[in-house]
Every structure is written in C-alpha cells, then in structure tokens.
Structure 1
Amino acid sequence: MDFDQQRYYLDTIEKKHPETVYFHFHDSAHGPNEWSNEKKVITFARALNLLPGISYSQDGRGEPVITYGGTTYRTTDSGVTIDIHEGTRTIDPTTYEVQHNDNFWVRITTKSATATTSGDNTRTGKLVFDVNNRRLNFEGSNYEQAGTEQFQFRDDDNPYTWFNTGEPVTLATALNTIPSIEYSQESKKGHVIQYDAGEKFGGTYRSSTGGTEIIIRQRTADVNPEQYQLRNGDLIWVYVHTDQAPDNEH
C-alpha cells in the first residue's frame, strides 16, 4: 500500500493522536513510503498500531493478526500467510525495535489472491529497489507504459507490484524493462547497476568498487538475476548503497 497520502502525514493526525509522532509519514520525505520515528524508541508492532486503519496483534500461539481496511487476517485462517521483514530477515514486531535506516515489509497473501493470479498464467510479486537510501516508486505512466506483455507494473495503487504474464522472465530481463535502470554483470566481478536519476542519486554502481554494496535477493536468498526466473509471490529486494549515500534522517 502507498503511505504517501495525507491521511498518514503527521500534520494531519498529530493533533488528534499526539503519539503518532513516534511513527509517521510526511510529504517532505526523501523517497516514497519513507517513515519517521521521533522522540521515543518503539517496537514495530506499536508503529503499525499508530497508522490509521491498521492494527497488529498476536493470537494465543504468537501468530500475527493484522486488521486493514476493516478486514482481519490471521495465519490460522485457511489460505492466509503473513510475512513481516526488516530488509530480508523475518522479525517479530512485538520485540523488534524500530531503528535508523530500517526497511520494513509486511505482506499478506490470501488463497483467493493466489487463485486470481495463477488462473491466467500470470505471476505477481513485489519489487523493492533502494538506491542510497532512496526507494524507487514504480507508480506512474512512465513505468506502466514502458512495460511489456510479459513484465509490467499497473495503475492499481500498488507501486511495488509487478506482473509477469505468459512465460517466466529472468530478473535481469525484468530490471532492464524498467525506465532509468540497466542491469548487467562484470565477468567474475559481480553486479553492475546503472541508475539514471541525475547527479544526486544517479550513476553507475559496481559491486566490485570499494565502498559500494549491491544486494539482490528473493526474500532472504541471494539470487543471480541473469539466471533467476520470477515466480508467483516473489519478494525481490535490490539494495544499492555507497559511502557517498546521503544520510537517511528517519
């Protein structure tokens, strides 16, 4: 879901709920869905419960229970899975404390959602792409129009959701479909990512360069984009960070 909306901004909700200063969003963030934590260290469970329309708890067995948009999801319900990650690692929101530069991911999958995408030979998943503390938002006509029949983003208010129809494509093919991004590999030297976004964020990043880190994973497993074919439900994580990255204040 997209938190770059007025209803989640601090200046909208703080007067009625002052505690939201502990975890909120605002329109002057460095990138899409970038959160802020001020004044007090809190668990991620409390952070979720500070967001309008969202609640998090655990049942008697310690399994997650999430309510969103009036619907409650439990892993004890048939066909429901709930995955909660910071970066590529699974966390327990009730004990994990929000930290500087954390990247959170909450995914709820239902049996009906899986059936909808698999029946027409369509795979769908998420792509989280961070470059020097800036998360790319794949919402907008330039991303939607650049897609192919095999790999595309859609105008559905889910800026990180991709669709792969027909034959599976490799992750490298998918990345090279995206405007402003080019992916390749240097012989025995690792990943090369070219990101065209101006002087501040753009450039060519090589994992072989000192001070540069490039991580590409499907959930917690490292993958080779030139060999890995996208699968239904994939959570792809591309993380590029250099010594010159601007500080993320949140």
Structure 2
Amino acid sequence: MVTAGCAGFGTSGEQPTQTETNASTTQPTEEQTTQSDTGQTTTQSDTDNGTSDGETRSAAASGRMAVVVDDERLDVSAASEANDTSSFWIEDAGATAEWQRTDEDVTLAEGLSKLGVNVTENGIEYEGTTYQDTENDTNVAVRVNGESVDADEYVLQQGDEVWVVAITHPLDQSVPGDHIDHDELHVHGHVNMTVDGENVNFSKPKYETPGHNQHFHFEGDSAPLWHAHSWSVTIEYGMSTLAGINVTEDSITYDNTTYERSDPGTSFTIEVNGESVDPSTYVLKDGDQVTIDVETENGTS
C-alpha cells in the first residue's frame, strides 16, 4: 500500500446520505424489475433526477454497488452528490447504494471515478492512497455479478451488482463484522470440501439449519452456494459456523475429526479461485470459489 495523505472513511454501518434533488425532479413513471442469478432483485426506473442547472437526467439503467477501501465501507451516495450533472450517479436505496446511469455507455472505471475511486493497473487509488493487489498485505477485487472484470472496459448494464474491495492486512475490522440484511446487497460464492476423496454434502440439514448463523450460511437447498452477510467474513469464521467443521491454517476438522498439517501422511489445501490462502485472514468476496481438500495416507483420493 502506497500512502500519500490518506484520509479516512465514514464509520462502517453508517447510512448513506440522501442525495439532494432539484425542485424540478419528477417522480418515477415506470418501473421494471429484474432478478439476478443470486436471487436478489433490482428495480429499474425512468426516474428523472434534478441537476444543478435545473435540467433533469433520466436513469436508463441501474444496479447496486458496494465499495470497501482500507477496511471501511465507503459512503458512495455522499461521494456522488458532487457530480450531479454526470451520466452516472448514486441514489439511496436503504442500506444499499443504487448506481444509475443515463442512456450513455458508462464503464465501471468511469463510474467509480465520479466517486473519487480511480482504477489503476493492479488496483485502485482513493484519497491519495494506492492499493495494489500485487502487494503481500493488500488484496484488491473488482467484481460484477460475482465475476472479475476489467473496470476500464466493462460497461455497466441493467441489474449489475458491483463489489469493489481493497483490504489491507492485518484487518482493522472485527470478524464477522457489521451485519448486512438479507434483502440488501451481500456476498455469495461456492465452496467445495473433500476429505479423502469424499465430497462434503453441504445440503444436509445439519449444515442448512435455518437461522444457525446470520453472517454465514446456506439457504433453501442452495448449497454449495454460500451467503455472507458482511464484507469481513473470513473463511475460518464461515466454516466454523457449520456443525463439526473448523478450518485453520494448520488444521482442518471435519465430522469432529481433526487433521493436523503436521500429521505424518496428511496433506491439505485451502484455495480461493485456485490460489492458496490463509483462512484466518482471507475475507470472502462476491463470486469466490472456495476449495478445501484433505488427504491422508489411510484414505482414498
């Protein structure tokens, strides 16, 4: 992380400030609802938003967005107020910020720049601090609908759910962190766990018990699709909420049997999107594919 006069964010969990509109603002006349692959609903409207010169702009596309930088969630709606004449802006939508754009094509990088977040070659820059994903203590992810994208090339489309995360370690945030309500923009991904060649079936009732944990869980026979209702849920925390399972850097427990990395004839891997991670520090991000594999000399592979 390269620092040059870094300023802090607002306190995590604060509600976004309502964007001020001109008196000539009109009310929505038509709404169209779409549903994303994660089951979340986004509403598109032709809302006219007043500008500083009295003109109006109409939203041709909209979606939801969350930006986390340096262990704090950015109040993007407040940052958007200074750009009330641009083709991209943020509207309040409860605890979730809703991005909107006119009928002009807007790339994700262009939209983020209106919020003071500038995309760099391997990361982002905000308020004089550059966060590079190539640095050992920094992790940067730019995802749309759970997929990594090139922000300079990607044009925002109706219903897009955007997560931009730049996290430095050690994490200056509690785990599992502030809870995000079910109907607000939260994090999803998949997990595959194998012990001696046998896939763990996370659709079993003991893993899908309704309400077993509000921050990490499977829902409605959707396993192995997991839901994380906070941006600061680690793999270690998430897996520890499941009955008989625990995952650390040095050991893995399954069905109340613990496998130590130091045990003779035992090996295991913990990966996210094909890369080895430390489960105690890695924060789950939208679209993450988690793989946990345990092999012993007495088992089968």
Q: TM-score range by the shorter chain?
A: 0.3 to 0.5
TM-score relative to the length of structure 2? 0.39
Larger gyration radius, structure 1 or structure 2: 2
TM-score relative to the length of structure 1? 0.46
